[in-house]
A and B are shown apart, each in its own frame.
Chain A
C-alpha cells in the first residue's frame, strides 16, 4: 500500500475511524431556509462516505436561536431537524464512515439579518468584519447558552451521531470568551486566564454530561495571529486545561475575524502550512489530534502522520474536489485524484454569495444525483474544439461516458486561459486542474490533435460538436491618453522587463476579478511603479475576500497604489487627470496603460457551423458561450458532456 499510515484505523473511545482522512465541519448551504436537512445535503455527504473517507464532521449547527451562520444553518436546538439528521447519519454510517456533529455558536461574528435578534458576545465590542455591535451576555444568558449546548448534545445523540465537536475556533463565541482581545468582562467569565477559560470549561462539562458514550472533542485555533491575542503557547495551556476535562480529541484550526484569510487559505498559502500548530499540541496531549488547512495530497497527509504531527488529517476541500480521494489513494491511483487548487472561487466565495457550495474542478458537488456521469446509451463521435478548461472537461466527461472523442487545439499546448492565469505570480497552482484534466484524457485515450485549427469542414464527420473556442482580448476599450501606449491583458502579460522596469504603469480594472491585480503584481515585480484604477467601488470588486486580502497585502509591499471610483477626465501627454469622489489627482509620467477588459467570446467557428451545417448538434461551452471564469467553463463542459 502506498500510504500505510493513512489507512490505519484509529479508535477513539469505542468509535473506530477506518482511516485517517476526515472532513471538518463545513457549511454547505444545502440545508433549507428552515434549517432542515435536505436530500441534497444527504447526497453530498453520502458521496464522500462512499468515497471512503474515515470521518465526516457535519456542518456547524446552531445551538441556540441567537446564532445562525446564514439562512441555511441547521437548527440543532429545534427538534424538528432530528428526523432529517437521523436519515443523514444513518446513510453516512451505512457507507462505513464515522460521523460527528459540530456544536456551534457564532458569537459576534455574524449579522442579525439571519436571526433578526441582537448579536451576542462576551463583551460589547464591534465585529470588524460584520460591523455590528453585539449585546454583552448576562450571566443568566450564559447559563442559558451552556444549557443549550447540553440540550443540543442530547439532540445529536438522538440523531445517531458518533460524537460531538464543540467549536472553539474561528473567533466564534467560545474563542471570544478565551481571547483577551474580545473578552473585556470584569466578572468571573473574564479577566484572568482561568476566568476566560470558565465558559469553555462549563460548556465542555455540560456537553460531556449529556454525551453519554459519544466522543467529545473540540476544534480550536492554534494561534490567533493578532498581537495581544492568544499565541500558540496560550493555546497550548488552554488545550491542556480542557483536555483535563475529559476531551477525547482536539482539532486544530486557525483564522478568525481579526485575521481572516487563514480560515480559508487560498493558494497563496503553502500546502500544510499550519500543521506545526497541531504538532505543538500533539507534543502535550495524549488524545488524538487532527490538523487541517491546505492538505490536498495523500502523500503530504502520509508524511504528516509519519512525522507524528497529528493522528488525523482533515482534507475537507480536497474531498470536496474529489470525493473519491480516499479510495483512489488506497488503490495508489494518485494521478486520478482531482486536486483542490485552493482557488476558493466556488466553495468559500459561493458561501459569501449565500449560494450552495460547488467546486471549480468538480461541478457535481451538490448535484451528486443528476450529475453522475452514466455511460451513454449510444456512443457517438464527438468533436471538442478548444483545449481550455471547458473543452478539456467536456472531452474528459464525454470519454468517461464512452463517447468517441477527438479534441482539437490550435496551440501546441493544452490549458487555454488557465495557462495565462497561471502566469501571474502565486497563481501557478491553478494550472493543477488543467494538469489533472490532461492526465485523465491520456488515461481515457482521447485523441488530441494539437496545433490544428478546426474548420467547419473538419467537424462535418462528427455526430456532435462541442465548441470551447474561448474568448479573445480585443483592443483596449479605453484610451486614457493618446500619447501613451495602451495594452490589453494579453499584451501586458508578454511585456518584458526591459519595457517595464522603472516606468509608471496605469492598470485599469474593467474585469473586476483577479486579473488586474495579478497583472499589477507581475508588473510591479518587474520593477514598474503600478497604479491600479477602476470605475468600481474597489479594484477586484468581484474577487473573493480572502484572495483580495492576500493580494493586497503583497501589492502594498510592492508599493502598488489604487484609485477606486476613478473617472479619467483628461490627459496631457504622460500626465493623466483622475477624479475620485470629487478629488482630482494628476498621475504624472504614465509610461503605459494596461486596460484589463472582459474578453470577447470567440464565436467565429460557431457562426461558421451554423451557416454550413445548421442541422448539426453544436454546443457552446465556456467563454465562447459567454466570457466568464474558469469554474463556469468547467461546469459548462461537464453539463454539456452529460447532455450529449
Chain B
C-alpha cells in the first residue's frame, strides 16, 4: 500500500485522457519514467481527472504506476486541474512533475510553472536521475542541433514535459494494480474568463491522412476511377478522408500522398472502411493502429479480412452505392455537417 504521504518523494506525472481513456502518450511517459524510477526506488504517482476510482486507472499499475490521484475535474480542463493541483500539492510538492509534451501536458505544466515561479522544461528528450539522486533532463535546442543537459540543484522541483513518440510502451509489471485515490472537491474556483464556443473539425479532403479520424480506403477490387469517385462521394458524406493502396496509386485513382502503407502514409484513424483491398503486408502495416476496421471484399480469405472487426464478403462497389443511397435517404451530407458542428 502506498499512501498519499509519499508525494514528497514521488515522481508525479499528469495523465492525459482522450475519449475517456488514458492516452498512448501518457503510457509512453509512464514507461519512460518507470525505467528511471525503478532504480531509485521512488514511487510513481499519476494525476488524472475523474470522479470514480475506475479499474482503468488501477490497471496502469501494470505499466509501473503505484498510485493514481484523481481530481474531480472534467478531463481536458487544464486550467482547472492545475489550480486544483496547486491547492492540493502545496503542502507536499513532489520533486518531479512531468506530463507528455502534448497540448494538454503543456498547458498544465507550463501554467503551473508560471504560477509557482519555477523553471519548466518542455519537450524533454530524456529524464534521468544521476548518482547523488539529482534529476537531469535533456532538451534539444537550435533545430535539434545542440543538446543541453540540465542537472537540477538539490531541493529544486522539476517541472517538465517529455517528448512523445519516442518510447515503446511496455507492461513491465503484469498483474500489478495501482492504488486509486480520489481527491475531495475543494470548493468553487473562480470562473475561467475564456469561454469555449465550439469546435471545428478539420476538412478531411485537405487534411493529412495521418491525422484523419475516419478513412475510407480503396484498392484493386474497386477496379476503376469511376468507383473511386463513388468512394470520394461516400467519404464526403461521412466526413472521411480517402486513402488507397499502391495499386490505386499506380492506376492514378489516388495521388501519392493518399497512399496508405509503408511506402506511403501510416495512419491511425478511429474508423477505417476498406473496400476491395486484399491486404498486402506493405499496406496493412500502415494501418496497424486503426482502432476499428471494416473490410469489404469479395475474397473471404484476403488477409485484410482477418484484420477487420467486421469483415463483409460482398462486392465493394455495390456496398458503396447502397451506402450512399442510405446516407442520402437519411439526409444528404448530414454526416458531414454533423461532423463539422460537433
Is A272 part of the binding interface, using a Cβ–Cβ cutoff of 8 Å? yes
Select from chain A the residue with minimum beta-carbon distance to B306: A525
Q: Does A605 contact B (CB under 8 A)?
A: no
**Closest beta carbon of chain B to A431's beta carbon, Å:** 9
A270 close to B263 (CB less than 8 A): no
In the complex the two chains form, is A299's CB within 8 Å of B285's CB? no
Closest to A2 in B: B256
Query: Which residues in B have their C-beta under 8 angstroms from that of A303?
Result: 262
Cβ of B300 < 8 Å from any Cβ of A? yes
A303 to B263 alpha-carbon distance, docked (Å):
8
Q: In the docked arrangement, what's the CA distance between A465 and B103, Å?
A: 67
The A interface, classified by DSSP as helix, strand, loop or mixed, is helix
Instruction: Name B14-48 residues within 8 Å CB distance of A.
Output: none
Residues in B whose Cβ lies below 8 Å from that of A271:
262-263, 281-282, 285
Residues of B with C-beta under 8 A to A270: 262, 281-282, 285
CB <8 Å contact, A429 and B282: yes
> Do the beta carbons of B263 and A497 come within 8 Å of each other?
no
Evaluate contact between A439 and B262: CB separation under 8 angstroms: no
Contact with A along B283-322 (1 / 0, CB 8 A): 0010000000000000011010000000000000000000
Known contacts being A271-B282, A428-B280, is A497 close to B262, with CB within 8 Å?
Answer: no
- Residue A297 interfacial (CB < 8 Å): yes
| A335, B281: Cα distance in complex, Å | 20
| Bound CA span A439–B252, Å | 11
Quick one: which of B243-263 are within 8 Å of A by CB?
Answer: 247, 250, 262-263
Smallest CB gap from A436: residue in B: B250
Q: Is A300 an interface residue (CB 8 A)?
A: yes
Do B250 and A439 have beta carbons less than 8 Å apart? yes
**What is the minimal beta-carbon distance from B276 to any residue of chain A, in angstroms?**
14
B147-184 to A contact mask, C-beta < 8 Å, 1/0: 00000000000000000000000000000000000000
Are B280 and A300 within 8 A (Cβ)? no
Asked if B274 is an interface residue, CB under 8 A from chain A, the answer is no
Interface 1/0s, chain A 417-439, versus B by CB < 8 A? 00000000100110000010001
Q: Are B300 and A300 in contact (CB under 8 A)?
A: no
- Asked whether, in the complex, the Cβ of A299 is within 8 Å of the Cβ of B301, the reply is no
Residues in chain A near residue B282, CB distance under 8 A: 270-271, 429
- Chain B residues within 8 Å of A435, by CB: 247, 250
Contacts of B247 in A (CB 8 A): 435
Which of B263, B301, B303 is in CB contact (< 8 Å) with A526?
Answer: B301
| Cβ-defined contact, B280 with A299, below 8 A | no
Give CA–CA (A425, B302) in the complex, Å: 9
Check B264 for interface membership: any CB of A closer than 8 A. yes
Q: Name the interface residues of A277-333: CB closer than 8 Å to any CB of B.
A: 297, 299-300, 303
Q: Which residues on the A side are within 8 Å of B264 (C-beta)?
A: 299
Contacts of B301 in A (CB 8 A): 425, 497, 522, 525-526
- B122 on the interface (CB 8 Å rule)? no
Residues of A within 8 Å of B262, CB to CB, are 270-272, 297, 299-300, 303
What is the CA–CA distance of A522 and B301 in the complex, to the nearest angstrom?
Answer: 9
Q: How far is the CB of A428 from chain B (nearest CB, A)?
A: 5
Q: Please measure, in the bound complex, the distance between the C-alpha atom of A297 and the C-alpha atom of B263, giving whole angstroms.
A: 7
Shortest Cβ-Cβ A-B pairs, 6 listed: A299-B263, A270-B281, A297-B263, A271-B262, A428-B280, A300-B263
Interface residues of A (CB under 8 A from B): 270-272, 297, 299-300, 303, 335, 425, 428-429, 435, 439, 497, 522, 525-526
For this complex, 19 residue pairs linking A to B, each with C-beta atoms less than 8 Å apart, are: A270-B262, A270-B282, A270-B285, A271-B262, A271-B263, A271-B282, A272-B262, A297-B262, A297-B263, A300-B262, A303-B262, A425-B301, A428-B280, A429-B282, A435-B250, A497-B300, A522-B301, A525-B301, A526-B301
